[in-house]
């Protein structure tokens, strides 16, 4: 890997945030799975697994994974309408994540040839 294609530290940090968020969410919601309808529990688990997939594959330089990461946080913005506090937090995170994932260094990393 040449100097231009090394993974930016910010991408590494954000990838780990996605991994931890997905894993923590699965653990946190594990007890809810018994009390929720199966389809709802599966939906929650699926969203958490998407965060883990995005984190893993961003570390592996998959461009589609950064788009998955953006869709994941945008989904959280969308479901936060109705709660101004959650909406504000998710909107700020969405902006921050977009900044990190689409900076020139991140673009070089995700578009560098293997």
Alpha carbons 5 and 87: distance in angstroms, whole number = 34
pTM for the model: 0.89
Note the pLDDT tens digit of each residue in 6-21: 999 999 999 999 999 9
71 pLDDT tier (thresholds 50, 70, 90): very high
In the block, residue with structure tokens 């260094």: 105
Between CA 98 and CA 113, with CA 47 as vertex, the angle to 5 degrees is 50
Taking alpha carbons only, the member of 65, 60, 61, 81 closest to residue 22 is 65
DSSP class of residue 33 equals: G
Look at residue 34 and tell me whether its pLDDT is greater than 60: yes
In the block, residue with structure tokens 């578009």: 111
């Amino acid at each position: 890997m040449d100097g231009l294609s090394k993974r930016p530290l910010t991408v590494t940090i954000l990838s780990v945030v996605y991994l931890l968020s997905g894993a923590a969410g699965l653990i946190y919601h594990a007890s809810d799975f018994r009390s929720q309808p199966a389809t709802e529990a599966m939906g929650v688990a699926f969203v958490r697994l998407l965060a883990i997939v995005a984190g893993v594959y961003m570390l592996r330089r998959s461009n589609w994974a950064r788009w998955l990461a953006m869709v994941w946080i945008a989904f959280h913005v969308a479901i936060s309408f109705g709660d101004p506090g959650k909406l504000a937090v998710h909107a700020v995170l969405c902006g921050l994540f977009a900044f990190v994932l689409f900076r020139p260094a991140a673009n070089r990393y995700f578009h560098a040839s293997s």
